[in-house]
Structure 1
């Protein structure tokens, strides 16, 4: 069969691949089948190629066979040559080894020769040294004999030569023989020293026990021995012994104990210090010491005497003489003349010591310059100790009675005119008090109307008003603020009148009160200081060094009175039954006498002290009164509001409460009666009664239903209180007059609302007709308002036609009285934005009298609305609240009564009520709230303990931030804010801003706060921060005068400055809390004082505002970091808030007000409005979330205030706003007002729609107050 060409090509392609490594290029060959036939062809081709290759190799091998034989021959010759070279090398090596052995033998022989030479030299040296040592031993033996013979100089000379020869010896210092020689020389040296000291002690004999010193040797001998002692090193021992003796003599001589007085006596070469029974004067001591020191100087060698005199002089001038002089320091001015002589004598003594080459004059001079201060300090300590002793003695001695006389010049009136009650109302205005500079006395009103008028403005709940302490302005306060109370009132019966009240007549009131002996003791101490001051100011004391202490003496009365005020309560109260009242009387007497001293001796600085003493007495009086009020209030609480008082067990509780109150008031009267003067006693008891009856009246008015049996039992109970009026009977009233009722008690003069209380008893036991008669024909309307009497009628009588008719008649009487006077009218158009209280459509303008005020207008609108229950309303005209009558508003604004006024009415302000307080372990610096729809609010607080806390509304702590050891703040936290529901921001005194991750567990009652990011850059504490979540930006205010701009994103923020990071970590941080650090985007520096507050523009996050202690508000472009505008005020700015709707920045100041600043460039003035009311610095502000005009402020005065920018008025200072509400700290309840907000300062506020008003402060609590629609949303 013919071969297939394609298979042939395939077989050839296999061979080419094996031989040349090439691949076929023909596509047909590549795609053809490689079957068995094709494989056989390939094998045959490969075998043929193999055979061909073997043939070619055989031909090539045969041609090269002759060349291989030549190569083999040359290789054999080369092998023979190599063997010959190897034998030659072996011979060379053997010869070298033989020479090496010979050289080693030569070296060994030379070393042995050298060793023999050294041994010979050593033997010779040892022999020489042994001979030298034997010589030294012989000389030492000879020296020992010289020492025994007592030849000191020769022994000293030979000893020195022996020591030099020993040092020259070539023996090793570590050899035994060398050690023996050294010990031998040392022993000889000690023996010689002992001999020299023995000879010295034989010449210089000291007896510490007998206090004697005897020096019998010649000066040359002593100098020789001293020289030997110096060479032998024994001089210090001798000098120290002498120095101890001299010190003992000096200390005994200048001892301040009179029982151990010593004097120095001299006999030839002997000095002795002996004890004397009689006291030795300071000059005698100085003279004897001077003689003693000269004795030391002349009899002892120069170097020893110089050392002793130097140390002794230092001891004398720095310690002994000043102590002796201080002991001689006299408290008496005249005694200081003798002391001055002592000082001069001491100076002369020091001057004479210069002859002995002693220094120290300057030290004594410096101490002498301190004598005025030392004397004044001693005088101060002695005086204050004497005051303490006098106080303890004075409270144990019997009290004494003093007179209180008050005078005034009578008016030019007739006797009948003087008895007119309208003229008597201010009859005691110009009283002059003999013991005190002024007495506030008010007269008894003549009719019930006047009494009610007084009670409407004065109350007995605050004694500050009773003592004319009108320091604070009365304002609306949500905690039932206490009001002022009048002073003890005196009727015309208490006054001794001249027979004829003509011009120039003097009216006098003389009363008695009791004081302790303590004021006279204090006055004695004060007069001693004044007398000594005048003595020092005289010419006779011009040479005294303490003359300059005169002004210091005048400061002692201030310290005396300050110490008295500090410790008087702790001494009076345990020792006296009515301790506070005794303090009050003592202070009153003491203040009067102090003013006499001021006038007699022209000491104006004591005038202020007299006022302070008087104020302290009034504070004690107020404290006593407050304690009794609290007791009475607690007793009345047992009645539980007198509800169901005719049924057991309430009947017994009410009886016990009233009886206890009755007995307590009588016991207080009995305790105060021997202490207080009559008018003050009546006023104090009246104050307690007023507290009781006011609480009773309020309790009865709060009862919604009073049954007949309850009414009868209440009358029985209250009648017992009425029996207290016998305490107000005029002096001298007999029992017969008292029982007959001929004398009328003056209870209504002293007790506010006494008549109202009596009317209450009448109302409880009267019929409906009687009550109606008292209202329409009597004077019941002078004591009760229409609403009060209607509430009582509704509680006492069941609903009937008679009751409705009586109520209608009472209302009609009031309407007639209100509309009776003719008044001008004005047309008003009423409107409101509250759809729930809007007037019906079509209601046009109405005419109203111009004398109407807010309440009357509210009544008119409620009548138009026809509501079941009246709604209190407020009214705005031209955007401002109406706080006066319409007529006054028209006059103040120059508006005609013919103008139609647009009047907007809103719901009246509802006071925020206290809801809760969250207590902390330390001061709370800031507070923030996270609230929103569909989630429970969370409250964030920062504290001075360096921790953040998150709370729920139930005052439960959900999470607390880590401590400093685990990545938390290392100092107090000053500000904290929610950045988002899962992020917090805080800053503090550690100069850092920290971001935190907040994770809350599913149960909602627990969570964690973990560090996320630390921001470093400020070099001072970071006082305030503000956040803007949408732009991830933070603004910070720091005491380093800069404003910081930060990013909460790590990727945007630059690296933290290394110096700031290092210096801010002042505590060791736990290794597990390695929190990332970043730096600021910008530090804006333009302020020249600490920055106090920052805030973002509420409508433009690229604009920021900052306030500072440098009085400025600055506007910043946060994109470029440029300062845009600066507004300068008159006071340091401490806080800030932005009110965008009215284009104002609120800035709290240190001047106790809030300045409203318009930051716009178009503003023409810096201050657009001033909000006044706080009594201390305003340190925190917050916006009202529900009103464009609302503002919340917190102050160091311990209050938060709510402001409405529409509630303003104009005065000489421009537009001024007043607070709508004042929210005090709940922790102050029952504790009284704190001066300057001490202990209750507010540090941070927050206003949230859901939670309410939150405030944080110094009382370690977050306080929450809440009220619905506190301000209108208009």
Structure 2
């Protein structure tokens, strides 16, 4: 182990570091700790070293004192030399300033001499310029003098000379004298132009302020000079354009396109004057064309050729658009019977164009193009008239309602006829069920007659309606065949001798009545008129019109008419008729039936698509109305709140009110639709509404998990109140003559309400004991309406859990084959 450094070594190492800045070489000295006890010794050594250094500095200072004195003497000498150099520099600067002043005086003298030379040259130029300005001013004075004497060409010549002189002169363009001369030139130019325009106005005068606007053209020898002057001034185009504008606005337009309706005018030529005179009535197109031709002939004869060359290309073209818009297009007849006479009008237009072109007028191609577009214009007018006829038919409809009879004749085989004979109305409905064998259908003849009723439409409410011919609630589209209940007549037609029913057929005549408005007949009249005109069009002998090819387009108008009817009918029926959508459905079915017969009679198969479109439109209206009534019923029944605690107040009162409101709603709809729909359609519509209400009640009752005895009785009462609606399905004495002979007639509710039997069984379940329910399932027909799970859930809700209930459920599941 190494020994630690001694105290003297540590003191010496620290002293060398302080005096010389050297670190110790030994690592032991660097890492050793400085003992506190040697501090006084170390301070004493540092003090001794300090005194040695001070003594050494003092000795060195005394030795170098003589050298410092020499430095001070040399510094003083250097300072004196610097002062002398500064004085010399100041003298040099003073001499330089004196020389520059002399040079400036020489430069100013030279500039003065140069300016004098420039002034002399400028004065000579001014004298020359003033001479040129005086010459130009004299020419301006001569030009003004020539203008005052009416020598327009000489004045224009001088004006051109003045312009050349100004361009070639040496006058500064920014000088006042040039500005003054330019102003005088401009004023002279304007003066000449105004003088020529004034002279023009005296020779060609348009007076639009009088009651009879006129244009007067005087002949004059000055016309060539005026036109030449206007041409040289480059204002002739402006003058002619202004003249043409005034001619169109004040002379031509009041005749061709009068601003005030009923203020008709024609042209009258009186010597050199063309006058607009009032016509007692709207002039004929031929008279108007003759009048316009006379006006253009007047212009051709009286205007100078130079002006005519400008007007030939533009003036005649300006009358084409207003002439075709105001006169020609409205003159196209819409009736086929007037087309032959219209051919004369087209011939007159051809002569009118030919006469104007012979005079040199151009830009009349639009009239020829219009003649070529007459077939298209005629069809467009026919379309507009057809749409307007529909609009007028809809707006002028009296709203009168009438009853129409639908008759269907059906040939059925002898066996099927026996069914009809056996039980009139019920057997008839069974015979015409959806599952009827189509082989029994031999022929169908539909005959519709009309009889006026005393009903007048009330222009109040209107709802969309349609008629349903199907019992399926998921399909609201009525089938094509009806199920009338009004009356039936059987006529036997034996094909062989004897009583063999297989060899005989019977004719079944079915009748029913429904209400329609006067609108379908109006639409049919419009369509039949279009078809009749299409037939007449083929007999049109005019070869120039070439309208026979438009027959297919004319036969397409019924589609447009039907579209217009469909577009306007919903709003019209909703504002004019109560239960308007039911009226709309009946009208659509009636219109489709008539249009189908019409298309078959006229051999127009293209109308079949329109027939289908009308039928779909009517069916859509029915579906919308039926859905609306279903929604209302559903909202009313929502007031029952799912029949929860329906035996206790206040829920009992709410359920009673909701059920009463639903029943009243159905009866109100029945009363509203009864005078509109046929009996079968009415019953089927009611069947759909009642079926929707029954579905909701069944679902709400089946959703109840626990039904007490009191609740069961209340639910049975509620269902019975809805069941009382079956009186709506009794035979109507007003439509069924056999109803009076059937005092105890059975309602046909089950035929029109598909879930009616299930509903009746539900009432029985709510009122029956568990044994009765099991008996209805095993021995009755309950299983035909309810499935096992439905019945089991009802039993669990109605009866408390017991061995008896378990055995009954097990028996029900066993008989249904469900484990």
Distance 1:432 1:20 in 2: 143
Between structure 1 and structure 2, the one with the greater Rg is 2
Partners of 2:11 and 2:54 in 1: how far apart?
12
1:748 corresponds to which residue?
Answer: 750
Aligned positions of 1:280-295 closer than 5 A: 280-295=283-298
- Paired position in structure 2 for 1:112: 112
Deviation at 1:417, TM superposition (A): 6.3
2:689 corresponds in structure 1 to 688
Is the contact made by 1:140 and 1:185 (CA closer than 8 Å) also made in structure 2? yes
1:488/1:683 contact within 8 Å kept? no
Match of 1:1004 in 2: none
Residue 587 of structure 2 is matched in structure 1 by 586
Tell me the CA shift for residue 784 of structure 1: 5.4
* Count of paired positions: 761
**Do 1:690 and 1:751's aligned partners in 2 also have CA atoms closer than 8 Å?**
yes
The structure 2 residue matched to 1:726, chosen from 724, 730, 739, is 730
The structural deviation recorded for 1:599 is 2.8
Report the Cα offset of residue 558 of structure 1: 2.5
Matches within 5 A, 1:1169-1184: none
Deviation at 1:187, TM superposition (A): 4.1
Instruction: Return the structure number with greater relative CO, CA threshold 8 A, min gap 6.
Output: 2
1:201 aligns with: 201
Q: Are the counterparts in 2 of residues 786 and 811 from structure 1 also a CA contact under 8 Å? A: no
Alignment CA distance shift 1:724-1:607 (3 Å): closer
> Equivalents in 1 of 2:738, 2:420: separation in Å?
28
Q: 1:253 to 1:797 in 2, by over 3 A?
A: same
- Give 1:253's aligned residue: 255
Q: Distance in 2 between matches of 1:36 and 1:173?
A: 104
Rounded to whole Å, the distance in 2 between the matches of 1:79 and 1:115 is 54
> Aligned residue for 1:271?
274
> Aligned partners of 1:85 and 1:769: how far apart in 2?
151
**Is contact 1:171-1:178 (8 Å) kept?**
yes
Equivalence for 1:1115: none
Displacement of 1:617: 1.1
Q: Is the partner of 1:467 in helix, strand or coil?
A: coil
**2:526 is the counterpart of 1:498:** no
Is the CA contact 2:666–2:690 (under 8 Å) kept in the aligned structure 1?
Answer: yes
Distance 1:647 1:176 in 2: 114
TM alignment of 1:82-161, pairs within 5 A = 103-123=103-123, 125-126=125-126, 140-141=140-141, 143-161=143-161
For the pair 1:380 / 2:391, whether they are aligned, the reply is: no
Alpha-carbon spacing, 1:433–1:630, altered in 2? closer, same or farther (3 Å): farther
- How far does residue 169 in structure 1 lie from its aligned partner after superposition? 5.7
CA–CA distance in structure 1, aligned partners of residues 771 and 367 of structure 2 = 98
State whether residues 226 and 301 of structure 1, in contact with CA within 8 Å, keep that contact through their aligned partners in structure 2.
Answer: no
Map of 1:211 onto structure 2:
213
Post-superposition offset of 1:35 = 7.3
**Are the counterparts in 1 of residues 516 and 583 from structure 2 also a CA contact under 8 Å?**
yes
- Alignment map for 1:767-1166 (pairs within 5 Å): 808=808, 856=817, 859-860=818-819
Q: Helix, strand or coil: the match of 1:674?
A: coil
Counterpart CA distance in 2 for 1:428 and 1:193 is: 102
Asked if structure 2 preserves the Cα contact closer than 8 Å seen for 1:325 and 1:343, the reply is no
Separation in 2, partners of 1:612, 1:123: 103
Segment drifting more, 759-768 vs 603-612: 759-768
2:729/2:749 contact within 8 Å kept: yes
Evaluate the alpha carbon distance shift between residue 338 and residue 238 of structure 1 in structure 2; reply closer, same or farther with a 3 A threshold: farther
Are the structure 2 counterparts of residues 235 and 408 from structure 1 closer, same or farther at C-alpha, using a change threshold of 3 Å? same
The equivalences for 1:343-422 within 5 A come to 346=349, 349-350=352-353, 359-360=362-363, 363=366, 371-394=374-397, 396-413=398-415, 416=418
C-alpha distance after superposition, 1:690-748 (max 9, x if no partner)? 3444545556665723349648856874674344443567944589756x42x444333
Q: Give the SS at the match of 2:597.
A: helix
Task: Tell me the CA shift for residue 315 of structure 1.
Answer: 1.5
Once residues 99 and 36 of structure 1 are traced to their aligned partners in structure 2, the CA distance between those partners, rounded to angstroms, is: 78
Structure 1 CA distance, aligned partners of 2:57 and 2:162?
117
Is residue 204–residue 215 contact of structure 2 (8 Å, CA) maintained in 1?
yes
**1:835-873: CA deviation from partner (whole Å, max 9, x where unpaired):** xxxxxxxxxxxxxxxxxxxx84xx33xxxxxxxxxxxxx
Superposed displacement of residue 585, structure 1: 1.0
Residue 464, structure 1, aligned to residue 478, structure 2 = no
Partner SS, residue 410 of structure 1: strand
Structure 1 position 638, deviation (Å): 4.2
Q: Corresponding residue for 1:563?
A: 564
**Closer, same or farther in 2 for the Cα pair 1:53/1:83, shift >3 Å?**
closer
Q: State the partner residue of 2:524.
A: 523
1:632 aligns with 633
Q: Distance in 2 between matches of 1:281 and 1:274?
A: 15
- Contact persistence 1:635–1:657 (CA under 8 A): yes
Question: Can you list the C-alpha shifts for 1:569-609, whole angstroms capped at 9, x where unaligned?
Answer: 21112211121111111111122223234334444443233
| Post-superposition CA distance 1:311-355 (Å, at most 9, x none) | 323322355445532232333345455556655654665566555
- Extract unaligned runs of 5+ from structure 2: 1-5, 449-468, 495-500
| Cα pair 2:698 2:759 within 8 Å, conserved | yes
* 1:294–1:8 Cα change, 3 Å: same
What's the CA shift for 1:307? 2.9
2: distance between equivalents of 1:101 and 1:607? 121
In 1, the alpha carbon distance for the partners of 2:360 and 2:580 equals: 66
Alpha-carbon distance between aligned partners in 2 of 1:241 and 1:17, rounded to the nearest angstrom: 116
Per the alignment, do residues 644 and 499 of structure 1 end up closer, same or farther by CA in structure 2, a change over 3 Å counting? farther
Confirm or deny: 8 A CA contact 2:471 2:684 kept in the other structure.
Answer: no
Task: Give the whole-Å Cα distance in 2 for the aligned partners of 1:16 and 1:672.
Answer: 132
Q: Deviations over 1:938-988 (max 9, x none)?
A: xxxxxxxxxxxxxxxxxxxxxxxxxxxxxxxxxxxxxxxxxxxxxxxxxxx
Structure with higher strand content: 1
Q: CA 1:95/1:603 → structure 2, altered by over 3 Å: closer, same or farther?
A: same
Alpha-carbon distance in 2 for matches of 1:542, 1:573? 49
Shift of 1:629: 2.8
Shift in alpha-carbon separation, 1:684–1:53, aligned structure 2, 3 A? closer
Alpha-carbon offset, residue 766 of structure 1: 7.0
Please name the residue that 2:666 is paired with. Answer: 665
**CA shift for structure 1 position 298:** 4.6
Q: Is the 8 A contact 1:642 1:699 kept in 2?
A: yes
Which position in structure 1 is the counterpart of 2:317? 314
- Alignment partner, residue 225 of structure 2: 224
Q: Is the 8 A contact 1:310 1:358 kept in 2?
A: yes
Q: In the aligned structure 2, how far is the partner of 1:199 from the partner of 1:186?
A: 20
Distance 1:93 1:313, change over 3 A: same
Aligned partners of 2:203 and 2:218 also within 8 Å: yes
Deviation at 1:391, TM superposition (A): 1.7
Give the 3 Å change call, closer, same or farther, for CA 553–96 of structure 1 in structure 2.
Answer: same
Going from structure 1 to structure 2, the CA distance change for 1:465 and 1:217 (only over 3 Å counts) comes to closer
1:512 is matched with: 513
1:515 is paired with a residue whose SS is strand
- The DSSP-based 3-state class of the residue aligned with 2:215 is strand
Inter-partner Cα distance in structure 1 for 2:788 and 2:721: 26
Match of 2:592, SS state, is helix
> Contact between 1:10 and 1:29, CA under 8 Å: does it hold in 2?
yes
Q: Deviations over 1:1063-1109 (max 9, x none)?
A: xxxxxxxxxxxxxxxxxxxxxxxxxxxxxxxxxxxxxxxxxxxxxxx
Distance in structure 2 (CA, Å) of the matches to 1:123 and 1:362: 70
SS in 1 for 2:240: helix
Is the helix fraction higher in 1 or 2? Answer: 2
1:491 Cα deviation from its structure 2 partner: 7.1
* Alpha-carbon distance between aligned partners in 2 of 1:85 and 1:700, rounded to the nearest angstrom: 133
CA deviations 1:57-77 (Å, max 9, x no partner) are 89xx99xxxxx9xxx99x99x
Aligned CA distance change for structure 1 residues 48 and 677 (closer, same or farther; 3 Å): closer
Name the SS for the 1:494 alignment partner.
strand
Alpha-carbon distance, 1:185 to partner: 4.3
1:378, distance to aligned residue in structure 2 (A): 3.6
1:275–1:51 Cα change, 3 Å: closer
TM-score by length of 1: 0.50
SS in 2 for 1:574: helix
Measured in 1, the distance between the counterparts of 2:573 and 2:23 equals 128
CA pair 700-141 structure 1, distance change in 2 beyond 3 A? closer
Do the aligned residues in 2 keep the contact of 1:330 with 1:336 (CA within 8 Å)?
yes
